[in-house]
Structure 1
Amino acid sequence: MRKIIVIFIFMLGTVGYSQENRPTYMAEGDLVKVTYYYENGALKTQGFFKDKKLTGEWARFDKAGNKTQLGYYSNGKKVGKWFVWSKSALKEINYVNNSIASVNSWKSESNVVVKNK
């Protein structure tokens, strides 16, 4: 009886460990939306592919669900403004031809003024 219980516990642990959170893929028109997950099931990364190349908006999240990165791809290359959030700052990285053209950084102590029209 003891051996059966030990085998059952071992099998239960093996099954639980082997279940991983695999990416999900969903067709949206001519794009494929992919979502990656952390081991705990939380959203990790989400974005689109077109013709097997990264395209459109891509976002990354930490394990608590906070957005940590937002960027854009065109035909597999980084383009436009990317934003990277950390506890202490926000970075804006501007890409041109898949290369960094400029970087702006704002510390959490910085004040930002928004003018509404």
Structure 2
Amino acid sequence: MKKILILAVMALSLGAYAQVDPTFVKDGDKIKATYFHANGEKSQEGYFVNEKLDGQWKMFNEKGEKIAMGNYDNGVRTGKWLFWEGDVINEVNFDNNRIASVTQASAKDPVVSNK
């Protein structure tokens, strides 16, 4: 669980250190933000409402592969977040910005069993 939390913090902080300027586009009452890695690949994308993170946010590694996805509500992480680490998917449920539960699965695990 500690590794997941560290990964989430690192993923969110990487955008701040990117050398490529982020983009901000007005979309109704929201602002769509896109942050980039130093190599130009997208590092994060999501929305701000009233200067707070809101709605779905996605994070990507330097190769452009999705590494995390989840929702914010008025700046607070809520609900189910997914974190990808190779073939492992961690499902982290947040309640008021705190980790409520963690479930781990392998992408190679069968979705349906005919037993």
TM-score, normalization by structure 1:
0.76
Which ranges of structure 1 fall in alignment gaps of 5 or more residues? 1-19
Structure 1 Cα separation of the partners of residues 96 and 111 of structure 2: 29
Is 1:29 the counterpart of 2:28? The answer is yes
**Which structure would you say has the larger RCO, counting Cα contacts within 8 Å and 6 or more residues apart?**
2
Percent identity, aligned pairs only, is 38
Structure 2 Cα separation of the partners of residues 96 and 113 of structure 1: 29
Aligned length: 95
Is 1:60 the counterpart of 2:59? The answer is yes
Superposition RMSD in Å: 1.4
Aligned residue type for 1:80: G
After TM superposition, the runs of 4+ consecutive aligned structure 1 residues lying more than 6 A away are none
TM-score, normalization by structure 2:
0.77
Which ranges of structure 2 fall in alignment gaps of 5 or more residues? 1-18
How far apart are residue 88 of structure 1 and its match? 3.5
Alignment of 1:73-112 (within 5 A): 73-112=72-111
